[in-house]
Amino acid sequence: MSSVLWFHQNWVYVALTATGLVGIWGLVLASLRRQPGRAFGIGAGIAISAILIQVAAGTLLYIDGLRPLNGFHVFYGVVIAITLSLSYVYRAQLRRHPALAYGLLLLFVMGLGFRAWTNVS
């Protein structure tokens, strides 16, 4: 087993946990009508970085010719990349209500990551 495959199979737990926890944190802040502080921004950055590392590892595996049996696994990875790209494009709008916007974004990305994980045969 390649080290990239091992990493991709195990890093998913870090990526899904990080996006889920920070997403919930954002929704709690939004429901309490509190502005997110620096810690939330750092947490969101770490969660986004974790999922991007997971997508990058999957991309390396795909380039090396290792493809999952179910094509939806790759589909969800591509949707994650597009979602995060669009969130970067619309970052000015996300700043209006950052806790709610990033909380929902990260929970959505976590859901996509979970779907990708469950579609591996």
Helix axes 71-89, 98-118, angle to 10 degrees: 170
**Digit-coded pLDDT (tens) for 1-57:** 799 999 999 999 999 999 999 999 999 999 999 999 999 999 999 999 999 999 999
Please write the tens of the pLDDT for every residue from 38-48.
999 999 999 99
**E strand intervals along 6-109:** none
Work out the number of other CB atoms within 10 angstroms of the CB of residue 39.
9
Q: Which helix (H) or strand (E) holds 1?
A: none
